[in-house]
Structure 1
Amino acid sequence: MEHKSIQQPSNEEILRQQLELLAERSKNTTDDRLSQMTLAMIEIHKQLKNNHVF
């Protein structure tokens, strides 16, 4: 029986997925939460930029 390994997503891919989820959820949130989500998205973007993903 052949064993297939499951590849773990890279840190960059995880950050991109988190950014997408935050962007999607920000469409239907309150103003208070939107500011928190925006700050989280900025931090994720900084991490991606520091890793030269963009």
Structure 2
Amino acid sequence: MFDKVTGKLPVYGNIALWCLFIFSAGDMMWAAALASISAFYLGFLSGQTYKPEE
């Protein structure tokens, strides 16, 4: 289950680095958009992988 999420951690790290780079470049709108998209995707992934046992 968690191997799926932890396997993509480097991807999220790269996304965060890009957000920091774009933010430092002064384009705050793009940084906010990328951050919100990556956060939503991460939440969607964790919501999909986490299934409580009945």
Structure-1-length-normalised TM-score: 0.54
Q: Deviations over 1:6-50 (max 9, x none)?
A: xxx723x11x21342034322x222xx210111011000001001
Structure 1: segments with no counterpart, 5+ residues: 1-8
What value does the CA root-mean-square deviation take over the aligned residues? Answer: 2.3
List runs of 5+ in structure 2 lacking aligned partners.
1-5, 48-54
**More helix, by proportion:** 2
Moved over 2 A (4+): none
Structure ID, larger Rg: 1
Higher relative contact order (CA 8 A, sep 6+): 1
In structure 2, how many angstroms separate the alpha carbons of the residues matched to 1:48 and 1:23?
Answer: 15
